[in-house]
Amino acid sequence: MAREIKFSLVYRDMWQSSGKYVPRVDQLVEVAPAIIDMGCFDRVETNGGAFEQVNLLFGENPNVAVRKWTAPFHKAGIQTHMLERGLNALRMNPVPKDVRDLMFKVKKKQGTDIARSFCGLNDHRNLRGSVEGAKKGGMISQVALSITYSPVHTVEYYMGIVDKVVEYGADEICLKDMAGIGRPTFLAELVSDIKKKYPHIVVQYHGHTGPGFSPASMLEVARAGADYLDVAVEPLSWGKVHPDVITIREMMRADGFLVKDLKMDAYMEVRRLTQKFMDDFLGYWINPSNAKMTSLLVGCGLPGGMMGSMMADLKGFQGAINAAQRAHGRPEMSLDTLMVKLFEEVEYVWPRLGYPPLVTPFSQYVKNTALMNLFNMLNDKPRWTTIDKDTWGMILGHMGQLPGKLAPEIVALAKEKGLEFTTTNPQDNYPDELPHFQEMMKQEGWDEGEDQEELFEFAMHERQYRDYKSGVAKQRFNTELEDLKKKAGAPIVVKRPVVEMPKFSVEEYVAKYPKATPVQAPAKGQLMWQLDVADDSAAPVVGTKAEAGKALGYVQTYYGMEELVSAVDGRVVAVLGKQGEQVAKGEIVAFVQ
């Protein structure tokens, strides 16, 4: 008898992989009936990842959004699932255990059935907390393996992780092919081994389409025994997002699998509404390049969603690099030449940093290190001159165990700097904090909410939650949207406001201070040399002392504050960015020498 293949619509990730925002709760509630009416989905990914922060950025309550968004699927008998980042839960930095445990209880009460949990390093110690927390909270625990392609990421390597998480009580395994570079036959072998050893374990495949492997991968994993495939719908399918359900469903059916019927009129309604949401306002934050696939991602292994930020980084550095090229009598470089050089440097850096899977946030660490290596080498400085503190945290083991061995030069550099490696359980570094947040809520006069969901939200995203409660978030979002609407004659894409440079350009500063090290924005957002200060006097003056690894200032991003860190000890010789203005990720905002 033919075996059935089931589908999950990753409606959250479709948006998250495309731009900054996901639809508001009223839009989600509007599209839910059409998704249900399509009739072909057994699961829908409703929340997780940046979903909570995005709602807070709207100035709206994410707890209300999750409850209203999951409700119609429950009524229709469709399972809902979320994505969480293991030690980092729903944010980009580590979360205390008591907050992680509360998350699963809250999300189950709000209507989320399945917790898809991944660790960016595939460290089973980080995943154990997720499995046990999900089970205690009454959720189905699905562990996601961060799939990549390297000499150390073998079937045996992944099966070692599967053995551990099944021992911890995981119900399901997901192959999270975040960059879409998993080779189809390799993935099939992995699925086959999982099913042979653990026939009761449900296997789900999630693959992005960036380099083009994913349709073949879906066919191979289905033949090997996978149960569910993650798919998308137009106009947010293909490109660097996910394959469209129509194509994958027809491919499965042609191969002899049983698949549910798909109502085309309902599909067209989901398609129409999704486009409507883009036209309403969400399209302003979607980079058109996300609609394109590229085989260039095969070599470097970076997720396709990073291409936009990576090109912004290169544009930010191009002027400085070409100034250095001219100063050394060398020809200038085009953006395409720099992109190829960066990809090559990523390929060089990645194995020497221990082959961390290139998924958030470790893909950013590898890319940032490669970018600074490239910049320094073109300025006749050695590789590894600039490594930021978060990358050092990864190297030293603060976030988990790296899959591969560090290169001898990295180990030697750590010893030279007096840095210590650790093999302790990463969760032990982050003590419980819920009592602290409960006390703060009492002081503010805030209620902990139904099932303590407001306490959870505050503890998970303190700054964004405060901005939501004060009304600042809604005001900020409305202002940002209004500014973009004024440019309605232009293509619907975010364009960072032109920064009025101070006395000199980046190129002139490079020429003036050839030995200086740039301080670059770690993320896109608002430059805050000092917090809660409105005027330009907040910026450090020339001559201000800078210490390696310590914050010179901050960038307010959509998910919280990121530190502006100097990579070297010295003095500030130039300040290029003003307090309060918007900066792009990788943009040079100061020089230290």
Which domains does the chain possess?
Answer: 6-281 (3.20.20.70), 499-593 (2.40.50.100)
The CA-CA-CA angle for residues 106, 11, 262, to 5°, reads: 120
What pLDDT score was predicted for residue 500?
A: 36
Could you give the C-alpha distances from 410 to 342, 395, 400, 545, in angstroms and in order? 20, 8, 17, 27
Specify whether the CB–CB gap between 123 and 91 falls below 8 A: no
Helix H or strand E segment including 145: strand 140-146
Could you read off the pLDDT of 218-227 as tens digits, one per residue? 999 999 999 9
The CA-CA-CA angle for residues 471, 477, 478, to 5°, reads: 90
SS3 291: helix
Q: Which residues pair with 8 in a beta bridge?
A: 43, 230
Distance in angstroms (rounded) separating the CA atoms of residues 26 and 40: 23
Phi, psi of 203 (to 5 degrees): -120, 130
Going by C-alpha positions, the residue among 312, 274, 284 that lies closest to residue 478 is 284
Sign, CA dihedral 210-211-212-215, equals: negative
Could you read off the pLDDT of 142-166 as tens digits, one per residue? 999 999 999 999 999 999 999 999 9
Surface-to-core class of residue 151, CB atoms within 10 Å of its CB (0-12 exposed, 13-18 middle, 19+ buried): exposed
Cβ-count burial 249-275 (b if 16+ within 10 Å, e if not):
bebbeeeebebeebeeebbebbbebbe
pTM to 2 decimal places: 0.82
What pLDDT score was predicted for residue 197?
A: 98
What pLDDT score was predicted for residue 493?
A: 39
Helix H or strand E segment including 591: strand 588-592
Surface-to-core class of residue 536, CB atoms within 10 Å of its CB (0-12 exposed, 13-18 middle, 19+ buried): middle
Specify whether the CB–CB gap between 291 and 239 falls below 8 A: yes
The low-confidence residues of the chain, meaning pLDDT below 70, are: 304-312, 488-508, 530-538, 557-561
Ramachandran sector of residue 146 (left: φ over 0; alpha: ψ -120 to 50; beta: rest)? beta
Going by C-alpha positions, the residue among 239, 279, 242, 285 that lies closest to residue 20 is 285
What pLDDT score was predicted for residue 497?
A: 33
Going by C-alpha positions, the residue among 266, 211, 208 that lies closest to residue 237 is 208
